[in-house]
Amino acid sequence: MTETRAAVLRRLWLNVHLWIGVGLAVLLVPISISGALLVWHDDIDAIISPHRYAVTGPEVAQPPSVYLAKAGEAVAGQPGDLRATGMRYPEEPGYPVRVVTRAHENAAPGTRPRFVTVFLDPPTAKVLDVMEFRTSFIGFLHIFHENLTIPEYSGRQIVGWAGVGMLILSLTGIWLWWPRNGSLLRALRWTRSPRFTFNLHNMLGFWIAIPLAVVSLTGIYLSFPQTARQAMSSIAPMNPQGPRGFAGTVARQIVLTPERALELARQAAPDAKPAMLFLPVEARGERGAGPAWRVQMARSEYENVTVMVDDRAGQAALAPAPQSGDRAASWIRWIHEGSHSGPVWAVIVFLTGVFPPIFAVTGIIMWLRRRAGRKQLEALRAPELRPAE
């Protein structure tokens, strides 16, 4: 009997769905779980290390130089010539001030510089904790989710291709779920099969498939940053890439004080409040350009403005406003992280990390049952196919 085209396609997508799911389960499950936990990274960190968040009040009462000095004292004597590269103001009431320090001595070939974060009480600048990012639990989750802790072996690209596999699983899952006979409302019922694992796999898969495809697609974009940026800039204008946050090498001779740099930034953006202050780094690729402070000012939860303060001339200027491509890239990151989009989307992104392990377990059970049923059928048909003696 000749199969219909729909039946052939269904069998094809079933095999694709099956083998990608079975083949990548060991990789997709830990990536998904780490992503789910990172949606609530600050809350989890506060549970694991409550002393870091034992602040005495929300007000940032000390000048920036005091926080930077206290952080410098806290990391003094540690290997690597740790020096402050910037400070982050509390994102919410009850959060600490964080000063990030970076090792400025030459690291061994093939290794990355150390980053140590100092948590400080906003009202008093008392040191609450000192944490090396890469050895912390949250730091490990970030690094694993980004590059499997093996950046030197194309870990970021491996995560990206795993995202491609997850995207294919999401899309083929929608195709396989779609009812061949009967109404759509009947397909939404729990009892599509007498098997609990089948119903669980199909029902959870239907409700999470589209969000999972979106999170997978945005993850692919983030895993191939240069290629993604080239693609984005080809369809929407983007500003040239600026300094990379806390990763720059701080200039050894600084003229302005942090307070003066912040004052100039406030004058340039009087309608915003400081969010991050980066110490001056030497500008690259520009002749005669000196070190510049970079101050991120928050106008709202969704809008930041960057002020560049020339350390030599003492002049502040607003950095070019984000163009449409820059805003799209920011939204892609926020969508993937579950941030800046409200609690409902955060919960949905969390579930896109929780459900794949369930899909892996139920899918493997269904696959094993399918194999066992096929073997039983072959055993029953064997006497019929045996030639008569």
Side by side, the strands of the sheet bearing 292-298 are 127-132, 115-120, 97-103, 82-88, 273-281, 292-298, 304-310, 316-318
SS3 percent helix, strand, coil of the chain, rounded to 5, is 55, 15, 30
Positive or negative, the CA dihedral 253, 257, 258, 260 is negative
Domain boundaries, the chain: 1-47+145-239+324-383, 48-144, 245-323
48-144 belongs to which CATH class? alpha beta
Domains 48-144 and 245-323 share a fold: yes
pLDDT of residue 379: 72
71-114 residue pLDDT tens: 999 999 887 788 999 999 999 889 999 999 998 765 555 567 78
| pLDDT above 80: residue 292 | yes
Separation of alpha carbons 357 and 363, rounded Å: 10
Residue 9 pLDDT level (bands cut at 50, 70, 90): confident
pTM as predicted: 0.87
pLDDT of residue 290: 77
Q: Report the CATH number of the 245-323 domain.
A: 3.10.450
Secondary structure, 3-state, 120-188: ECCCCCCEEEEEEHHHCHHHHHHHHHHHCCCHHHCHHHHHHHHHHHHHHHHHHHHHHHCCCCCCHHHHC
216-239 residue pLDDT tens: 999 999 999 999 999 999 999 998
Tell me what the pLDDT averaged over the chain comes to: 88
165-191 residue pLDDT tens: 999 999 999 888 887 776 677 667 777
304-355 residue pLDDT tens: 899 999 999 999 999 998 899 999 999 999 999 998 888 999 999 999 999 9
pLDDT of residue 389: 52
Separation of alpha carbons 388 and 344, rounded Å: 67
370-381 residue pLDDT tens: 777 777 777 776
